[in-house]
Chains A and B, each alone.
Chain A
Amino acid sequence: MAIFVDENTRLIIQGITGGEGSFHGQQMIDYGTEVVAGVVPGKGGQEALGVPIFDTVRDATRETGANASVIYVPASFAADAALEALDAGLGVVVIISEGIPTLDMMKVYWRARSTGQVVIGPNCPGLISPGKCKVGILPGHICKEGKVGVISRSGTLTYEIVDFLSKSGLGESTCIGVGGDPIVGSNFIDCLTHFRDDDQTEAVVLIGEIGGNEEELTAEWIKENFKKPVVGFIAGLTAPPGKRMGHAGAIIAGGKGTAKDKIEALTAADIPVAKRPDQVVGLLEKKGVRA
């Protein structure tokens, strides 16, 4: 089944004519994602990557029956682009752009919640349901349709771990990069809620990092609410306090948000945490998850 995106996804690309939008748009089409339209204000009526361009998301949605959008527009316009997609009621909005001001993202977050829609990102690689649909920038060739759900705050670290999952034969149901910002549209628990009800997903890998307390909250939640096997990886054991490690959200502030605290919380919830990315598959196998 997979979650959020699958063979029924009909995708709009906001920013389809930009460098990122056109490159990754083509990659998504090549992977088999059904891209139905692009949105670029002022370029309505033209065409890109073989699909029509519209001036507004509302027009694009009405004309094509789209049910998801991916946003590649520059950071200063990205929050507004997301609000426009939510206003059109697309249901799933994926923000790839990096650098959106936190207060702007706060508006997007609450708008999505109040309208019952899903936002993934920003500052994320997007998501992929291997063999069905790819939305974002994840390299499709390393993924393999299978049984493990992956949720991650990172990009390339996700690829590293997904590569091991694919080569082991376990494969993935859906991989979601939730994003590296302090406020993201969907957190670990939001994704787990969907994985819980997904028949294809037999186990989940959580890839966390320093900053905030989401991993700790998730560990608590899993104890009561999630029965499928979960294993974790946390990046940033060697990160110094008070320094932002690339991602806007990856910072140990006031002694809070350390990798050690997160690993302890997960371990206490019976979620084994790998010390290295190449140990994740072994931990899943120990939990009885086999290819």
Chain B
Amino acid sequence: MKIHEFQAKQILREHGIPIPKGDVATSVDEAVKVAKGLSLPIVVKSQVHVGGRGKAGGVKVAKTMDEVRAHADAILGMDIKGCIVRTVLLEEAADIKEELYIGFVIDRASKKPVLIASAAGGVEIEKVAAETPEKILQEVVEPSLGLCDFQVRRAAFFLKIPKSGMKTFTYTLHALHIAFISKDCSLAEINPLVITGEGNVIACDAKMNFDDNALGRHPELEAMRDDREEEPLEVEARRAGVNYVKLDGKIGCIVNGAGLAMATMDVVKHFGGEPANFLDIGGGAKADQVTEALRIVTSDPTVNTILFNIFGGIVRCDRVAEGILQAKERLSLDLPIVLRLVGTNQREARKMLEGTDLIMLETMSEAAQRAVELSRR
């Protein structure tokens, strides 16, 4: 799960990490009111879940109150990569001398948390890693030891932290590590961590992503979820208990199992078609879930063909058939449905579907090919 910058900074503040003075606003008047409590210059920052806000014009510095009003007016309502800006963060602009990067991730290869530090802050770390890997320091954190002081010192010397900022830097790194672990983050980064003209250290931007599997023990994080930042159909699907990711093609795919769902999309593409979505109805899918999956897939107006690919191991084919019949009754479905249904209780399922206009095929390749042909009409 992702959260906004201002929410990530709230977590940093709770952990004692210095951040610029500021607050959020959802209207121009409110923005001006917030700005009155701050000293100029002020940064006006759009709060959306996508990167590249600065380039899109979603981050602007105001030197006067008139500029605060103008920037807030321009940024609120702005469309950044499909996300509408509903909130702006207003902060006192830092006196930037240097911009650094610090972050923690779980490294899948070493199965341990890793501290990443870079002197090239303010840009995407992936870009730095690809172009100037010598500017990046990685410190693997032993899970049983936690982040050690010598590792923090190594980072500080690597980043050439001035003496005046050493204490705050050390505290910040430890605090970020504690936040990373205690909040079950998959990513916690401060970018840029700014060294000011006076030699102080301050977190000017922050990003935190969380392990979805751990949200159950963090109701405080679940409360920060902003559904408006997500694809509406994906939100509906999550609530219905199915895994759905929207794509742009015409063939709506409904599959059991994530791996098979991806493979089905790939095979559709292989035969020259375009999948409209990824959808996994899950292991223990019941009729209602199948009906709901069909409703979600067909709410996408670009979909003109449905492809079911079910390899019933645990999922019972008769339940899938029941779900399809139920959906046909409840939703007025007039799209062609290609169905590949094999495995547990397939005979019962086929009997149930006899006499319907469903196109039943034996293999995944045959079914995908047929769906591709039908989608070309």
| Residues of chain A at the chain B interface (Cβ within 8 Å) | 20, 75-76, 99-104, 106-107, 109-110, 125, 137-139, 142, 152-160, 163, 180-183, 207, 209-210, 212-214, 217, 233, 235-240, 243-250, 254-255, 259, 275-278
Contacts and interface: CB of A to CB of B under 8 A. Distances in A.
A106 B266 CA distance: 32
Closest 8 CB pairs of A and B: A154-B259, A246-B258, A156-B257, A157-B259, A101-B214, A235-B262, A139-B313, A254-B126
Interface of B: 106, 108-109, 111-112, 125-126, 129-130, 143-144, 181, 184, 186, 211-214, 216-217, 243, 245, 247, 255-263, 265-270, 275, 278, 280, 283-284, 311, 313-314, 343-344, 363-365
Contact of B186 (A102, A139, A153): A102
Contact of B213 (A102, A155, A276): A102
A197 to B, nearest CB: 24
Contact of A276 (B144, B257, B365): B365
B364 A278 contact: yes
B278 A239 contact: yes
A180 B217 contact: no
Nearest to A256: B126
B109 A158 contact: no
Given A107-B143, A212-B108, A238 B266 contact: yes
Given A160-B311, A238-B247, 9 more contacts: A75-B216, A102-B186, A159-B343, A207-B259, A209-B262, A236-B262, A240-B245, A244-B245, A259-B266
A156 B262 contact: no
B258 A109 contact: no
B146 to A, nearest CB: 12
A156 B313 contact: yes
B213 A99 contact: yes
Nearest to B105: A253
14 contacts: A76-B216, A101-B184, A103-B106, A106-B106, A137-B283, A154-B258, A154-B260, A155-B258, A210-B262, A214-B108, A236-B266, A246-B243, A254-B126, A277-B263
A249 B108 contact: yes
A110 B344 contact: no
Given A139-B343, A159-B311, A235-B266, A245 B261 contact: yes
A125 B315 CA distance: 13
B106 A213 contact: no
Q: Which of A181, A237, A255 has the most CB of B within 10 A?
A: A237
Nearest to B187: A253
Contacts of A240: 245, 247
A197 B365 CA distance: 35
Contacts of B111: 106, 109-110, 183
B257 A102 contact: no
Nearest to B212: A248
Contacts of B144: 110
A275 B270 contact: yes
Nearest to A109: B111
Q: Which of A235, A247, A254 has the most CB of B within 10 A?
A: A235
B108 A277 contact: no
Contacts of A103: 106, 181, 184, 211, 214
B365 A278 contact: yes
Given A157-B257, A182-B108, A247-B259, A255 B126 contact: yes
Contact of A213 (B109, B130, B243): B109
A250 B245 CA distance: 12
A255 B217 CA distance: 30
A180 B307 CA distance: 24
A239 B364 contact: no
Contact of B184 (A75, A102, A181): A102
A160 B368 CA distance: 15
A106 B112 contact: yes
Nearest to A107: B143
B109 A217 contact: yes
Contact of B261 (A153, A181, A217, A246): A246
B198 to A, nearest CB: 34
B269 A237 contact: yes
Contact of B263 (A76, A137, A160, A255): A160
Residue with the greatest number of chain B CB neighbours at <10 A, chosen from A99, A101, A104: A101
A209 B258 CA distance: 10
B237 to A, nearest CB: 11
A155 B108 contact: no
A212 B109 contact: yes
Contacts of B280: 246
Nearest to A216: B109
Contacts of A160: 260, 263, 311, 364
A137 B267 CA distance: 26
Contacts of A210: 262
A245 B213 contact: no
Contacts of A259: 266
Most chain A CB inside 10 Å of its own CB: which residue of B216, B245, B278: B278
A137 B283 CA distance: 10
A152 B259 contact: yes
B264 to A, nearest CB: 9
Contacts of B181: 103
B294 to A, nearest CB: 18
Contacts of B143: 106-107, 110
Given A183-B108, A238-B266, A156 B256 contact: yes
B263 A157 contact: yes
Contacts of B314: 137, 139
